[in-house]
Chains A and B, each alone.
Chain A
Amino acid sequence: DTGVSQNPRHKITKRGQNVTFRCDPISEHNRLYWYRQTLGQGPEFLTYFQNEAQLEKSRLLSDRFSAERPKGSFSTLEIQRTEQGDSAMYLCASSPGTALDTEAFFGQGTRLTVV
């Protein structure tokens, strides 16, 4: 499978616990993005990596959220002290990193439920 891979697909956690999600982008894609999608809404941009550098973070990404892409390949998104409002689908996407990408390729997402 050469698409964007996200793990786990589903996560149920108790409020206050920490969770970590992983995203494996398409091989050789330089750009990696995280989005969050709540029920009935379109995805909202969270953050963006160019290789290993995190170049932009949305205001939606509070201090409890941290994302890394240590070797410019896979990425992790960690949420500390989860809250019920964190319940959402977390989508990862990647794109080649050419001068004008015309599409980002999305993974199937990780659905987080905080109880």
Chain B
Amino acid sequence: AQKITQTQPGMFVQEKEAVTLDCTYDTSDQSYGLFWYKQPSSGEMIFLIYQGSYDEQNATEGRYSLNFQKARKSANLVISASQLGDSAMYFCAMREGDTGFQKLVFGTGTRLLVSP
């Protein structure tokens, strides 16, 4: 069975600094996708970044990058130059297979607080 583990319930970072949010996963499938979502207090899940299991390069989207270490089964999110608006819950998620079927398994999340 799939499993996503986020071991950091909360993280604090100062504005303009970089922060890494940890995510490890467990799957027996060779083909899978890894996602990070941001959930502000409004409740909406905002897609941040995607990494396919066969992608050789780490995914990047603006200030977000995904540090994908396949052998260690980790997919950490790196946020560079943190902003006050980055304060939110962050969820790592996984999809098995490559059918595009977005049945995602989510971790328990990490609450990020960015201070001035």
Please report A residues at the B interface, Cβ cutoff 8 Å: 31, 33, 35, 40-45, 48, 56, 89, 91, 93, 95, 97-109, 111
Contact residue among A42, A101, A105 (Cβ-Cβ distance under 8 Å from B93)? A42
**Which one of A40, A97, A103, A111 contacts B47 once the chains associate, using CB atoms below 8 Å?**
A103
Q: Is the CB of A45 within 8 A of B105?
A: yes
If the complex has contacts A102-B50, A106-B44, A108-B43, are A42 and B91 also in contact, measured as CB distance less than 8 A? yes
Considering the chains assembled together, what is the distance between the CA atoms of A43 and B46 in angstroms?
13
Interface flag for B42 (CB, 8 Å): yes
Residues on B with C-beta less than 8 A from A95 are 100, 102
| Interface size bracket, B side | 20 to 34
- Measured between beta carbons, the chain A residues less than 8 angstroms from B4 are 42
User: Are A100 and B100 within 8 A (Cβ)?
Assistant: yes
B84 at the interface (CB under 8 A from A): no
- How far apart are the CA atoms of A53 and B116 in the complex, in Å? 49
List residues of chain A with CB within 8 A of the CB of B46.
106
Taking CB atoms, residues of chain B closer than 8 Å to A103 are: 35, 47, 50, 102
Minimum CB–CB distance from B5 to chain A (whole Å) comes to: 11
Asked whether any CB of chain A lies closer than 8 Å to the CB of B45, the reply is yes
Interface status of B104 (Cβ within 8 A of chain A): yes
The chain B residue with its CB closest to the CB of A94 is: B102
CA of A35 to CA of B43, assembled, Å: 13
Known: A31-B101, A33-B103, A56-B103. A109 touches B44 (CB 8 A): yes
Tell me if A109 and B98 are in contact (CB < 8 A).
no
Contact assessment for B100 and A93 in the assembled complex, using a CB-CB cutoff below 8 Å: no
Whole-angstrom distance between the alpha carbons of A46 and B49 in the complex? 23
Is B108 in contact with chain A by the CB < 8 A criterion? Answer: yes
- Output the least CB separation between B71 and chain A (Å): 23
Residues of B with C-beta under 8 A to A48: 101-103
- A108 to chain B: closest residue by CB: B44
B44 touches A98 (CB 8 A): no
Residues of B within 8 A of A98 (CB): 100
Q: Return the chain B residue nearest A41 by Cβ.
A: B108
Expressed in whole angstroms, the Cα–Cα distance for A48 and B35 within the complex equals: 18
Query: Contact: A109 with B100, CB < 8 Å?
Result: no
